[in-house]
Amino acid sequence: MTMKLVLVVVVEVACLVSGILSFGSETLSELSFLENDVVSTTRPSSSSQLQPQPQPQPLMVDLTLIHEADSKGAVCLDGTVPGYHLDRGFGSGADSWLIHLEGGGWCNTIRNCVYRKNTRRGSSKYMENQIPFTGILSNKPEENPDFFNWNRVKLRYCDGASFSGDSEDESAQLQFRGQKIWLAAMEELMSKGMQKADQALLSGCSAGGLASIIHCDEFGSLFGKSSKVKCLSDGGFFLDAMDVSGGRTLRTLFGGVVQLQDVQKNLPKSCLDQLDPTSCFFPQNMIEHVETPLFLLNAAYDVWQVQASLAPPSADRLGSWNECKSNHANCSSSQMQFLQDFRNQMLGDIKDFSSSSQTGLFINSCFAHCQSERQETWFADDSPLIEDKPIAVAVGDWYFDREVVKAIDCAYPCDNSCHNLVFNFK
């Protein structure tokens, strides 16, 4: 008999909305940096696996600060220098590099950014000295079959605009220098051996997944034509979608980010020739302007977008979506239809993108967010599958040109391999 096992896990989610009602109209972005919140996940399990199996301890990797960055104006919101975690490659991967951009939402007002600069999402003073490398960052072949022995880097996120802003607010003592952080980090890593890379992959989760799209061609330009260079966006395909009240909550947030942090200076000119800067910050309008091979990994029912974009408290003042947002099993038929329409919009927005031979897709019908960083979703015995292929294998097949990968799941509830996130709203 098939049973469901519920585990408590720590996940990288760009915005969890526990306690969201207490912050008023600016709640969305004030809480949009919160990650590593404890939630639970339902996952498939056989009757012989009623107890969770012990997991090996992950590799812990030290924080390295880019001390020369401040002389280049490349600083976090509070003026401290940015940082990264690097685990050196070995063997056949010694000259291959994986750069993973951390996620953590955005700040779109002075108030939100001031709040954020006193956290690890706005200051290196608050960053952990060590973090675990799991999933796509793991150094174990049984956990990360294609990239385990590469040079693996996690670039910390402390600017609030997906590494793309370049401005300041002197009165609030805020530095919006995401673009400069990106450039300083790349210069630092090139000096540490990345300039010799024969293979390179830029990846990112959530706001970092959006950043991997924004910087994909810049990343590709760092290397010669003989190098294989590609990009992966995980949980970063944020849609300009209508919320449950008929408004556009995420467009309002993105508009604030773009204006406050002067993001338009670093968006594709070919997009800006056709659309306004806020529209060009949305991946659905940006991907057609990316020339470097790009892979989109996304849940069709992305829980961050459901909670913070489709049905935030500002659009659902009576809380009629609270039960559905906490657990998809509690959604009514009309709520589920709304989410199916969201999935259909996502599939429509990637239709032209998917027709290119160099692009890759893994769009599963799960209630999840950021599936490359968590070991159980990236590569494990019970990882999510599309046509019997886990995410890590799909990404590897695409990167190494072993197969064309255009994996799009059937609609919910057909996929019983999902690790669906369940939230406990206070």
> Which amino acids are annotated catalytic?
206, 302, 369
**Nearest C-alpha neighbor of 96 from the set 399, 401, 360, 404:** 399
Q: Are 197 and 97 in contact (CB under 8 A)?
A: yes
Q: Which amino acid is at 173?
A: Q
End-to-end CA distance of the chain: 34
Q: Which amino acid is at 212?
A: S
Report CA Rg, the chain: 20
Residue 197 CA, distance from chain mean position: 24
- Cα dihedral value 131, 134, 140, 143, nearest 10: 170
Task: Say how far apart CA 328 and CA 315 lie, in whole Å.
Answer: 18
Backbone angles phi, psi at 135, to 5 degrees: 60, -125
Q: Which residues contact residue 357 at a Cβ distance below 8 angstroms, ignoring those fewer than 6 apart?
A: 404
Q: Which amino acid is at 265?
A: K
**Nearest C-alpha neighbor of 241 from the set 311, 166, 157, 148:** 311
**Nearest C-alpha neighbor of 102 from the set 153, 37, 165:** 153
Q: How many CB atoms are closer than 10 A to CB 190?
A: 15
Q: Which residues contact residue 341 at a Cβ distance below 8 angstroms, ignoring those fewer than 6 apart?
A: none
Q: If residue 283 lies in a helix (H) or strand (E), which one and from where to where?
A: helix 283-286
For residue 355, give Cα distances in angstroms to 352, 358, 361, 406: 5, 9, 11, 9
